Structure 1
Amino acid sequence: MLEKFSVTNFKNFNEKLTLDFAASDYQFNPQSIKDGIVKTAIVYGANASGKSNLGFAILDIVQHLTRWNNSDIHYNHYLNKLNKTPYAEFEYCFKFGQNKVIYRYSKMDHNTLLDESLHIDDKEVLSVRRIGVKDVNFSLQGTENLNKDIIDSDKLSIIRYVQENTVLIDSEETQIFKEFHGFVNKMLFFRSVEERSFIGLKNGEYNIFQDIIKKNNVQDFQEFLNEAGIACQLKTANDLFGERLVFMIGDEEVDFSSIASSGTLALSLFYFWYQRIQVNKTSFVFIDEFDAFYHHNLSKFVVKKLKEIDVQVIFTTHNTDIMSNDLLRPDCYFILANNQITPINKLTDQELRAAHNLQKLYKAHAFE
């Protein structure tokens, strides 16, 4: 799991911003926590506070360590305009069982890597330095004879180079390396139905409803909508353009996408990714403005669906109706403001208990 993340000089994050997922000692809603790390987090922040950019920053790692490099548009204006340092810096701290992995790197832009280093349990196993004194370190077992010309290839990550060009010797260290790379390969970012953009898990375009039909998920999708409180009956129909998804209204077939509400369309997008999250055993998901079209009960439904499965999730929202100890707990709600992101229990001297009304406290400015 991702235990801690830091970024500096990326988009609107001029100074170093650190997101720490360390859980506090609450005894309720344990499903929101795994191995002492926040598993389900909700981030609040004013407009332009950087909630979307936080997602882009965390998923930046996907762009150069995996083949899911389909999101250049999100990485325009890469560096902070007020910071004169010519590169952004990133640090990821992962925890896999009792083992810790720290991956640091710097970039001049979306595609240009400078320094990189990977530590496993405090030991540097891979590094390349292109700033100042140039150097390459291959200490991971099985990498000793790799070509060090990677130092001149600033578009190629040393991690991906090792992954694609080495048969690693089987050891605890290489297993942790593979677990780290596998985690990154299964990270996902997606956002609202209007833009329908995503990072991770796949490349190319997609059609939500054709995907449901192709995978024979029409009945499952209907049951999912019914569970969410949207009473409907669905089937497929054929026309000159092929199969399409339709509502049954009495005896009449009505095209799904033509009459579905914005909330139902947004829920359809969530269903599309929810299937992939389960099938691919996705490791980490960032859902930006996840409930922009939802009633608050539907928002709770979506959070609960992901809380029930083994995936680390960050939601961003403005919806305070779901800031409740009935859903999560104080160490799972974060406030992003003034280049800092902090769980609400760290923003007050008051001891927050299960009976507290977090929304009421938030609206009374208790967490400022």
Structure 2
Amino acid sequence: MLIEFSTTNFRSFRERQTLSMVRGKLKDDDKLDTHSFPFPDKADMALLRSAAIYGANASGKSNLIRALRTMKRVVVQSAGWQRGKELPMEPYLLSTETTREPCEFEASFYANGVRFQYGFSATSERVMEEWLYAYPSGRTQSWIERAWDEGSQSYQWGRMEALKGQKKLWKDSTRDNALLLSTAVQLNCEQLQPVFDWFENTLKIVGINGFNPGFSIKSCEKGERKKEIVNFLKSADLNITDIKVKPKKISANDLPEDMPDDMKQSILQQSEAKAFVDIQIIHEGENGASVALPLQNESDGTRKLFAYAGPWLDVLKEGSVLFIDELHDNLHPLIVRMLVGLFHNSQTNPKNAQLMFTTHETSILSQEVFRRDQVWFASQEGAQGTHLTPLSDFKVRKGAEDIERYYLDGRYGAVPYLPHFYADVSVAMGN
């Protein structure tokens, strides 16, 4: 469960910006049971099940997901990096000051029922700071406090009494370009394992290309999972009655004619040791007859929804935290609404999975679909970089305000400014 994520000095984010999943206290509070769920350790607070991020092209909304992906990558991989390997830091480049400053990332979340606050700052050369605070019984415990001291050219370690085990070994083994969290877990620190596992397993991040269909294909090889995927596709009104999975062996005829012979031979040899399958989508044809179509012959939208089906259901089953860029791409607005709605239903989302996504799809920008604290706007504020603002910061009349129209009219910002578009294009064309 994600509470909030913040980043500073990363790509288009110059100042600290925070995406909060904490349910606000709105005067017109509604959708309390469907769109939110209580904090595990705070009965008077609640977390949201979804958040939608809007913004013009180049506003920086995708950079928020990129920042979280970078944080995850460093947590999961840095313990295995060789000394001297550069950290994947991308500071804000439109200021001579920020290019020399570290990028910073911080996430607050629940793992195994315990609330954690974890973060670090780093340059491409080294981790500058790292901190981890735990709240196992409501009181703060310091598990990691690490800061680089320029004067002594060494790390200073704070109070870390609550972290048990071979702390000296973990500290001595942590390289400049690695995190103590990652290194200690690699050296069998069980206490930090839930924090590491949250980043590696619970947090799912999907780019603009969406999901690879491989997960859904593997799921279709299992009877019960295949039935779930068929029902998922049926609910999208795709006239699909079944999915057939057939073993497939690659032959030379399946490969391009102009492919070099040695490459063909290599692929064919690999196929001998690998199990391939052919997916066929069964539709109801004329007079109730079944018609089988290869997956590759389906529309872009159907193929994309099939690729989404397995992972989407898995996220809901496991109670994962899913970030996805450009959810609307190749999907009908009603399908997008259906996908989001699965997170707002306690029956389809029993473990309180969370969905955060960027989109340009404004048809779902409605008080019928979201609470005001679930909608965020990313906008470029000149030299100050990207700013994130929730819709709840604006005065919105419940039920009476057309949020979609007001957004497109620019009342909330985060839209392209195009007053001279046609004139400028005409000049560029020499007219």
- What range describes the TM-score normalised by the shorter chain of this pair? 0.7 to 0.9
Query: Contact (CA 8 Å) 2:112, 2:194: kept in 1 or not?
Result: no
Which residue of structure 1 lines up, in the alignment, with residue 47 of structure 2?
Answer: 37
Equivalents in 1 of 2:166, 2:244: separation in Å?
58
Q: Report the CA distance shift for 1:219/1:13 in structure 2 as closer, same or farther (over 3 A).
A: same
Alignment of 1:1-368 (within 5 A): 1-26=1-26, 27-30=29-32, 31-35=34-38, 36-66=46-76, 78-82=90-94, 83-94=98-109, 100-109=115-124, 112-120=126-134, 121-132=139-150, 133=152, 134-137=155-158, 138-143=160-165, 145-147=167-169, 149-150=171-172, 153-166=175-188, 179-185=194-200, 186-192=202-208, 195-196=209-210, 207-208=214-215, 210-216=217-223, 217-233=225-241, 234-241=243-250, 242-248=276-282, 250=289, 252-257=291-296, 259-279=297-317, 281-308=318-345, 309=349, 310-338=352-380, 339-346=386-393, 348=394, 350-368=395-413
Query: Contact (CA 8 Å) 1:209, 1:245: kept in 2 or not?
Result: no
Task: Measure how far apart 1:17 and its partner are.
Answer: 1.9
Note the alpha carbon deviations across 1:290-345, whole angstroms, 9 max, x for none: 11111111110010123331112201100110011111211101001121111112
Query: Contact (CA 8 Å) 2:210, 2:308: kept in 1 or not?
Result: no
| 334-343 or 243-252, larger mean C-alpha shift | 243-252
Equivalents in 1 of 2:176, 2:66: separation in Å?
21
Number of equivalences? 343
Equivalents in 1 of 2:294, 2:71: separation in Å?
39
Q: Report the CA distance shift for 1:44/1:187 in structure 2 as closer, same or farther (over 3 A).
A: same
RMSD (Å) for aligned C-alpha atoms: 3.1
Equivalents in 1 of 2:142, 2:368: separation in Å?
43
Which residue of structure 1 lines up, in the alignment, with residue 270 of structure 2?
Answer: none
Gaps of 5+ in 1: 70-74, 169-173, 198-204
| 217-226 or 77-86, larger mean C-alpha shift | 77-86
Equivalents in 2 of 1:118, 1:238: separation in Å?
48
Equivalents in 1 of 2:13, 2:5: separation in Å?
13
Note the alpha carbon deviations across 1:216-236, whole angstroms, 9 max, x for none: 343332221111111123323
Gaps of 5+ in 2: 39-45, 80-86, 251-275, 381-385, 414-431
Q: Report the CA distance shift for 1:94/1:236 in structure 2 as closer, same or farther (over 3 A).
A: closer
Task: Measure how far apart 1:206 and its partner are.
Answer: 6.7
Note the alpha carbon deviations across 1:193-238, whole angstroms, 9 max, x for none: xx347xxxxxxx8724531333334333222111111112332345
Q: Quote the sequence identity (%).
A: 19
Query: Contact (CA 8 Å) 1:136, 1:151: kept in 2 or not?
Result: no
TM-score, normalised with respect to structure 1: 0.81
Query: Contact (CA 8 Å) 2:106, 2:118: kept in 1 or not?
Result: yes
Note the alpha carbon deviations across 1:33-76, whole angstroms, 9 max, x for none: 2232322100001111112210121233321333699xxxxx96
Query: Contact (CA 8 Å) 2:56, 2:379: kept in 1 or not?
Result: yes
Query: Contact (CA 8 Å) 1:43, 1:51: kept in 2 or not?
Result: yes
> In the alignment, residue 133 of structure 2 is paired with which amino acid?
H
Task: Measure how far apart 1:247 and its partner are.
Answer: 2.7
Equivalents in 2 of 1:286, 1:37: separation in Å?
16
> In the alignment, residue 34 of structure 1 is paired with which amino acid?
F
Q: Report the CA distance shift for 1:161/1:47 in structure 2 as closer, same or farther (over 3 A).
A: same
Q: Report the CA distance shift for 1:16/1:239 in structure 2 as closer, same or farther (over 3 A).
A: closer
Task: Measure how far apart 1:127 and its partner are.
Answer: 2.0
Q: Report the CA distance shift for 1:79/1:188 in structure 2 as closer, same or farther (over 3 A).
A: same
Q: Report the CA distance shift for 1:307/1:333 in structure 2 as closer, same or farther (over 3 A).
A: same
Equivalents in 1 of 2:404, 2:247: separation in Å?
48
Task: Measure how far apart 1:13 and its partner are.
Answer: 1.4
TM-score, normalised with respect to structure 2: 0.70
Q: Secondary structure at the match of 1:225?
A: helix
Equivalents in 1 of 2:397, 2:370: separation in Å?
13
Note the alpha carbon deviations across 1:259-304, whole angstroms, 9 max, x for none: 211111221121131133145x243110110111111111100101
Query: Contact (CA 8 Å) 2:216, 2:307: kept in 1 or not?
Result: no
Note the alpha carbon deviations across 1:139-169, whole angstroms, 9 max, x for none: 234236532544760233211233343555x
Query: Contact (CA 8 Å) 2:142, 2:163: kept in 1 or not?
Result: no
